[in-house]
Amino acid sequence: MKTFTKCMLMITISFFAIHTVHGQERNQNVSLSNSSDSAILMRLYGSTDKNNVTYTRPIQEGEREFSAKDSITFRIAFSNTIHLAHQDYLFVITEAPNSYQQGCAFGYRNFYFFSEKTTGLVLIDSIVQEGEMPLGDVSEFNMVDIGKDKKALVTTFQNSHGYFTNTKSLFYVTLGKLTPLLSVNIEYNNADWKIPETENNKCTAEKSSGTFEIIQDEKDWYDIKVTETEYGFTKGCQETYVKKVTAFIYRYNGQEYIEKKDQVEKL
């Protein structure tokens, strides 16, 4: 599989620089099915901006290391009702871009778990980031079934600074915890940085693409099929052609997804 970019590696490192806050129950006067961004922001931060979809506060001293801004703005990046441990929760992600480092957009990403009680929504648990992490060019999230009564959050990291990379990562979701499962290289292309001097020179650029499929069956944890396409370049990096297409099967071993060496298929 393709080696991750430096920004992508920093995501993995930064993901563990977060802490979980338990037992913070705060009454919410909105329901799981009728929870607007403004209502959630009001309950999390106590107020919203005039547009009702963001919350801005003065930047704190520890947030100034890579940013010259005077304030930082949070928004709802994703919200979804999720069934965990026989109960429905509203799962919310907030984001706040703050700086650019090594060509990557950096900022803060926090995770919240709400439940609905007779008093309304209650904040049950949260995963609050302590430092900046790479956010990339886009913020895309979705929730998928990863096994029997198991959910995974799929995040997308995309960076187009110098070379293009798009990576999807799967995290097993339990109350107050996100466990990394697998990352898939969806697209990688560094041709813009590898342009040879003449059209007759050998092209040393790299390009690949990939897809993943969750194989739903009767297993407690579903297998994941990853298909990777490796491309070659003609002289001068003028055109690309398919060099190799390979399918990998990943299976959960009790701690993580690992590649099944006996189930690699060249297509």
Long-range CB contacts for residues 240-244, cutoff 8 Å, separation at least 24: 240/207
- Model confidence over 98-128: pLDDT tens digits? 888 777 888 999 999 998 777 767 899 999 9
- Read off the tokens for 205: 């650029």
Mean pLDDT of 5-18: 46
Pair (212, 110) in one structural domain = no
- Model confidence over 17-65: pLDDT tens digits? 444 444 443 333 344 555 789 889 988 999 999 999 999 999 887 777 7
Q: Is the pLDDT of residue 14 over 70?
A: no
Give the domain-ending residue among 120, 136, 152: 136
Distance CA 111, CA 129 (A): 9
Distance CA 265, CA 259 (A): 12
Nearest by Cα to 246 from 225, 231, 265, 260: 265
Share the mean pLDDT of the chain: 84
Helix runs in 59-146, H state only: none
Does residue 141 form part of some domain? no
Give the domain-ending residue among 91, 113, 136: 136
Does residue 175 form part of some domain? no
Secondary structure, 3-state, 222-265:
CEEEEEEEEEEECHHHCCEEEEEEEEEEEEECCCCEEECHHHCE
- Read off the tokens for 129: 């980031």
Neighbours of 87 (CB within 10 A): 11
**Under 8 Å between Cβ of 2 and 230:** no
pTM (2 d.p.): 0.83
Does residue 167 form part of some domain? no
Q: How many domains does the chain have?
A: 2
Does residue 180 form part of some domain? no
Phi-psi region of 181 (alpha: psi -120 to 50; beta: other; left: phi over 0): alpha
Does residue 178 form part of some domain? no
Pair (13, 121) in one structural domain = yes
Domain of residue 249: give its range: 190-267
- Read off the tokens for 81: 């009702």
Confidence class of residue 67 from pLDDT cuts 50, 70 and 90? confident
Neighbours of 162 (CB within 10 A): 12
Does residue 229 form part of some domain? yes
